[in-house]
Amino acid sequence: MVSKRKYILTIIAVVILTAFLTLTLGNVFMVELGQKVFLSKDEYGQMRKMSEKYAKQESIMQIAQRDFLYEADEQVMLEGALEGTLKALGDPYTQFMSREEYEALMQDTEGSYEGIGVYITASDDNKILIVSPIEDTPAEKAGLKTGDKIIRINGAEFTADQIDAAVKIMKGEPGTSVTLTIQRVNSDGSNDISDVVVNREKIRIKTIKPAMLDDNIGYIRITTFDMQTAKDFKTAYAALKNKGMNKLVIDLRYNPGGMINSTVEISDMFMNEGIVTYTKTKAGEVEYFKSDSKAEDIPIVLLINEGSASASEIMAGAMKDTQRATLIGTKTFGKGIVQKVQGFGSDGEGIKMTVSEYFTPAGINIHGIGIEPDIEIQLPEDAQGYGYEFYETDNQLQKAVEVLREKQ
């Protein structure tokens, strides 16, 4: 039989042990005793704050499930809450992506997808703005242009707030079509609104278009910067050199950007040791992207315009600041911020978020400003196109050749 003194001592020991577990180990994990779970005061406080923080969200979902006339799917509402959280930041480049959207973005980065072939973003008036159609894709063949705004898709109105849903509709099975209602601003300031039918295709983006011009002047157009671009550029450059190229035009017109590493790798080919660009986060963390001391010794002209954005502007800014190339054309788009894409959760979803801003070697951030060319010249409105195939009416390319001919 247990003595009274031993019984009291046992009770005291249990109380002390329970208090110890609750106040110490409870800071790391919960302690379960029977049907109860003991938490530390800090853990309890954190859980209570979380409950209070999201009480309104839970209450709204319960009201919707109880009173909403139509189906109120809890999973759909939760995903909508995630989308709304990032959309509330007010940055058109930051978004939550469903599994399908995340997979599509990964495909685009790799250089192929099924759709119409157009780069879009949000305009200042909350409309879907075409940054540029991709060359040799249905969008370009249908006559879509930089600056066009997509206001309806298959008859339904869409704004920039619905850009993800718009992309999902424009992509689709090859052989099918989509009708876009386009708003285009004319040179006199008037607006034209018209319907354009665009056929969907399997699009393998050819990011490099090389050619040899007269007087041993090489020409390489870069349509975008994806995972294969730097490799393809080096192949095209070597082929042109074997044909006798001793001067080069790099055409970045209507190039909406892409991967930083790709544009840095190409810029590094022509720059001496130094900084190509650097990025800075909100916390002040700086990452430098540098070129080594090896550089191709060849005169270069860079063609730019209002459709040259992001990674294109990194190259243009680096070449201009270091006086490595002459920039010809018109002012660039002005996107000087960097997005990080990452997987999220366990269902294949993703997040694209603006995490830093980038600077040219001279420490200039061009976001919302753009890069001015060394020689400004507008492409004529009646030009049949741009690039070496349209040399006779492409006065910007003609000027590039003229400048290079004067270089020794």
Q: Give tens-digit pLDDT for 87-107.
A: 999 998 999 988 878 887 887
- Among 83, 91, 102, smallest CA distance to 282 is for 91
Q: What is the pTM of this model?
A: 0.69
Catalytic residues: 310, 321, 335
Phi and psi based region of residue 378 (left: phi greater than 0; alpha: psi -120 to 50; beta: remaining): beta
Residues of the chain with CATH 3.90.226.10: 208-406
So what's the pLDDT on residue 45? Answer: 84
- Among 147, 155, 145, 146, smallest CA distance to 180 is for 155
Residues of the chain with CATH 2.30.42.10: 112-204
Q: Which residues contact 108 (CB under 8 A, 6 or more apart)?
A: 226
Q: Which residues contact 196 (CB under 8 A, 6 or more apart)?
A: 142, 143, 144, 179, 180, 181, 182
Q: What is the pLDDT averaged over residues 296-301?
A: 97
Beta strands 300-304 and 326-329, pairing class: parallel
User: Which of 20-29, 82-91, 273-282, 341-350 shows the lowest per-residue confidence on average (mean pLDDT)?
Assistant: 20-29
Residue 206, judged by CB atoms within 10 A of its CB (0-12, 13-18, 19+), counts as middle
SS3 151: strand
| Other beta carbons less than 10 A from residue 120's beta carbon | 22
Residue 230, φ and ψ in degrees, nearest 5: -60, -45
Task: For residues 314 and 274, give the distance between their C-alpha atoms in angstroms, rounded to a whole number.
Answer: 14
| Other beta carbons less than 10 A from residue 376's beta carbon | 12
CATH number of the structural domain 112-204: 2.30.42.10
Residues in the chain: 408
Q: What angle do CA 29, 33, 34 make, to 5 degrees?
A: 140
**CATH for the 208-406 domain, from 3.90.226.10, 1.10.540.10, 3.30.565.10, 3.20.20.150:** 3.90.226.10
Decide if pLDDT at 25 tops 50. Answer: no
Q: Give tens-digit pLDDT for 96-138.
A: 988 878 887 887 777 667 899 888 888 889 999 998 888 789 9
